[in-house]
Structure 1
Amino acid sequence: MNDVGTAVLLAAAPAGRGRAMDAASVLPALAAVPPAVLTGTATATVVELADPLDPQTVLTRLRAAAASPGPLVLFLAGQLHLDKRQFLPHLALARTTTATLRYTALPWHWLAGELGGRPPGTTTVVADLAADPEVWQRLAAAPDLLHLGPGPYLYGRVTPAPRRGEPTTPDYLRAWAELWRAGARPPHPAMHAEAAIRAAAHTPAPEALLLAPGNLAPAPNPAPASNPAPAPYAAPAPYAAPVTNHAPAPYAAPVPHQAPAGHPAPPPYQAPPARAPAPAPAVAQDPHPAILEAARAGRHGEAAAVAAAWESDALRRHGPRSAEAVHWTEVRADLARLAGEPARSCELWLSAAEFRLALRQQADDPDVEAAVDRAHHQWEQIGDRARADSLGPALVALREKVPGRRPGALAALRRRMG
């Protein structure tokens, strides 16, 4: 485990009538979380930027934080505006106005430039953002507008900025703080799912964009049955949105890579059998064959994006504590394995196991055991020792609850962690 991490708390919004989000209101809640919890390290340094005035000052502080060797987590609350000359999103700062945007706001691509060069898996951004109409319109057409590159993990929620009235509040980011302060320590994907549900319940918005690794798709709130919600974004090929209330058909992955002798690879992933479908006006197209075809063809980004879009739909329709949501977490975990991303696969299998335990499945349930076994197997494939160390404690905690049917798995894990 890395000894020292860095957490940057950046909350910014224009003063006066241009303020669409009361961004700084979340800082006390985040500051009350122990620094080591913010970063998942033994100790941590916290850098707080409350309503900064100058983009160069923010850039300097971010650059210094990005130079630190340990894990970096950026908590970001604020509002996005569009530079109408270059059509690029900017994060508004305290002195930003429409006329001075290019000189007083922080270009989003500056964030990508500073964070994208860090080692993969060491950087996480958790964002709670309000977007002006121009940015929101472009996000609907190009969800990857907020992409930070292949290295950082981006979780967040973007809502349209209110046209008038009281500024919005960063309830998604506040939910992260509240969960941590209540003692919860789930992996980031589970935190993201729960925070999105809590934020939607606190301040319902007509539309929201949920940000997660592999998923930058607009996520409208579910529409009434007479007016079904539109299909989730699935680029580049169109896929139908799920319209039934049953779990998707099983997804059969190819045989896993050969495992080290000390811990045999678990059997190929097979989703639990689908439950009997509830009556529905139409039968949804099964997306699994297209997802698997894309993965086998090496189009891993496409496969992950489609699976993440279906996961978002499951989260909206059924909630994070549902069999439908955990199914898609498991699909994404196996897609990460196929893409040669064992750390990401391990993290998602850990989340799937935690989800199943939260669904009151027993520790000896075959699905729970399989999720932990696959997380363990993928952990052993991670070549980056720092990344493996960061995931090790969560895996040990799960192995203590779910020892599995292979004798000595927990002891072997502890020996590997040294």
Structure 2
Amino acid sequence: MPGTVLLLAASPVGKGRLVDAASVLPVLAAVEPSVLSGADTANVVELADPLEPQAVLTRLRAAATAPGPLTVFVAGQLQLDRKQHLPHLALARTTPATVRYTGFPWAWVREELRLRAPGTTTLLLDLHTDAETWQWLRARPLDSGRTNAVYGRIAPPPARRVVAVPSYMKAVATILRSGWRPPVEQLHQQAVERLGAEGYADVLLASPGFVGAATVPGGSAPRPPSALKGPRPQTPDGLSNPGRSLNSPGRPQDADPHGAITAAVQAGRHPDADALAAEHEQAAVRAHGRGSEEALHWTEVRADLAMLAGDPVRSCQAWLAVAGARLAAGQAAGAVAVEAAVDRAHHQWGQIHDPAAARELGLALAELRGLVPGRRKGALDHVRRQLGQLESQPLTS
């Protein structure tokens, strides 16, 4: 039975573009359809920077109803709509103010694929986020359906005035161009390894299916329209705001500082955002202790804020502090939160251009990497090689 492949690359036109998603399509299109799908033959549908949510819905719905295995490749960026704070895939015309009308609600991916037979659907994702969406994802998984195999990465916001590239998806395409498709778990792992230190800050997606789906607080997720005629699709009103952080459930919206912090970041007021997060960090330390989850949450927020402000030294220091505190509290070196902290410290360390600061923090990172090697091969060796190169550089840049 032939398979079906949907190649979807989408990102806004103009200054709102975080990633050049469509740049991966020529590489994917050069792969044999049977290799893309893992079936003997396959039909391939390509969507490059689509303009309308309905156009995406039409193609996804047709792919979902096709018999045989379905593989969906998605490269692009996620943004939250301002009214309900739900994730959307940004399309060519999407702006922060129009996400709800011009973006493609991610819940529709789950909804369109939910009736497919278990084990027949695979999603490979390379998604970038803005600051608000990155914080939202700290508290929630990206729900892509209980019975779908989902692999890929979600990357944090790129540096200011930088348009990222879908490096994970390009690595997948490069591997597949060899003419052989390994099992999807191996394909994912090989692609992650090719990212190297670039991918240490990412959230990795590796779900073989049958995993619990996240629920939306206060109501049900938006459902796609049953017909393609009529007004542009939009999500229903009336949901309580789910855009709160993991450590602030149940608090009234006006008491949740995360919205104010995000607004400050979006306005470019990075010192104000960090100052507000620092106040809550100190309050959590006084109330719960330095190594408490409440305090560490705010240290992690400050680490992300430093990254968004383009200060990798401060971000690296914060992630190293989080990792050290978690280990000191008795958490295992293989715990997800510990590995994530060390991985993100490693990523930020790679962005430091001052040799003296890089040497100092690199020694601390190497010591941590000895305890927490992480799940990607060669991480400790990478730190040691970079430290060796730094030894030959002058102390001032």
TM-score range, shorter chain: 0.5 to 0.7
Alpha-carbon distance in 2 for matches of 1:155, 1:315: 15
Q: Is the 8 A contact 2:32 2:179 kept in 1?
A: no
- Which residue of 333, 343, 357 corresponds with 1:242? 333
- Which residue of 76, 79, 100 corresponds with 2:77? 79
Letter in 1 for 2:148: P
TM superposition shift of 1:206: 6.3
TM superposition shift of 1:162: 2.1
**After superposition, what is the alpha-carbon deviation per residue over 1:311-338, rounded to whole angstroms, capped at 9, x for unaligned?**
xx7423657xxxxxxxxxxxxxxxxxxx
Alpha-carbon distance in 2 for matches of 1:193, 1:78: 20
Figure out how many residues of one structure are paired with residues of the other and give that number: 245
The residue aligned with 1:22 is: 20
- Which residue of 38, 41, 44 corresponds with 1:43? 41
Alignment of 1:114-133 (within 5 A): 114-133=112-131
Cα–Cα, structure 1 residues 59 and 223, in superposed 2: closer, same or farther, change >3 Å?
same
Cα–Cα, structure 1 residues 96 and 40, in superposed 2: closer, same or farther, change >3 Å?
same
- TM-score, scaled to structure 2: 0.56
The residue aligned with 1:135 is: 133
The residue aligned with 1:90 is: 88
Q: In the alignment, is residue 227 of structure 1 matched against residue 320 of structure 2?
A: yes
The residue aligned with 1:104 is: 102
Alpha-carbon distance in 1 for matches of 2:28, 2:330: 39
Select the structure with the greater relative contact order (CA < 8 A; seq sep ≥ 6).
Answer: 2
- Which residue of 35, 56, 59 corresponds with 1:58? 56
Q: In the alignment, is residue 149 of structure 1 matched against residue 145 of structure 2?
A: yes
**Percent identity of paired positions between Structure 1 and Structure 2:** 49
3-state DSSP of counterpart to 1:186: coil
Q: Is the 8 A contact 1:22 1:169 kept in 2?
A: yes
Alpha-carbon distance in 2 for matches of 1:197, 1:152: 23
Alpha-carbon distance in 2 for matches of 1:239, 1:127: 34
The residue aligned with 2:184 is: 188
Cα–Cα, structure 1 residues 153 and 205, in superposed 2: closer, same or farther, change >3 Å?
closer
Alpha-carbon distance in 1 for matches of 2:123, 2:65: 16
The residue aligned with 2:345 is: none
Q: In the alignment, is residue 161 of structure 1 matched against residue 252 of structure 2?
A: no
Alignment of 1:146-295 (within 5 A): 146-201=142-197, 204=198, 207-213=201-207, 227=320, 230=323, 240-242=331-333
Alpha-carbon distance in 2 for matches of 1:185, 1:74: 15
**After superposition, what is the alpha-carbon deviation per residue over 1:148-193, rounded to whole angstroms, capped at 9, x for unaligned?**
1211111011111225223100010011111111244321111111
Measured on the aligned residues, the alpha-carbon RMSD in Å equals 3.5
The residue aligned with 1:9 is: 7
In structure 2, runs of 5+ residues without a counterpart are 215-299, 305-311, 336-366, 380-397
Q: Is the 8 A contact 1:116 1:148 kept in 2?
A: no
Over 6 Å off, 4+ runs = 220-224
Cα–Cα, structure 1 residues 124 and 17, in superposed 2: closer, same or farther, change >3 Å?
same
Letter in 2 for 1:117: L
Letter in 2 for 1:29: V
TM superposition shift of 1:119: 0.8
- TM-score, scaled to structure 1: 0.53
**After superposition, what is the alpha-carbon deviation per residue over 1:65-84, rounded to whole angstroms, capped at 9, x for unaligned?**
10001100000000000112
3-state DSSP of counterpart to 2:15: helix
TM superposition shift of 1:100: 1.1
3-state DSSP of counterpart to 1:315: coil
Cα–Cα, structure 1 residues 163 and 85, in superposed 2: closer, same or farther, change >3 Å?
farther
The residue aligned with 1:315 is: 375
Q: Is the 8 A contact 2:7 2:72 kept in 1?
A: yes
Q: Is the 8 A contact 2:31 2:179 kept in 1?
A: no
Cα–Cα, structure 1 residues 85 and 230, in superposed 2: closer, same or farther, change >3 Å?
farther
3-state DSSP of counterpart to 1:149: coil
3-state DSSP of counterpart to 1:77: strand
3-state DSSP of counterpart to 2:87: strand
In structure 1, runs of 5+ residues without a counterpart are 245-279, 285-309, 320-418
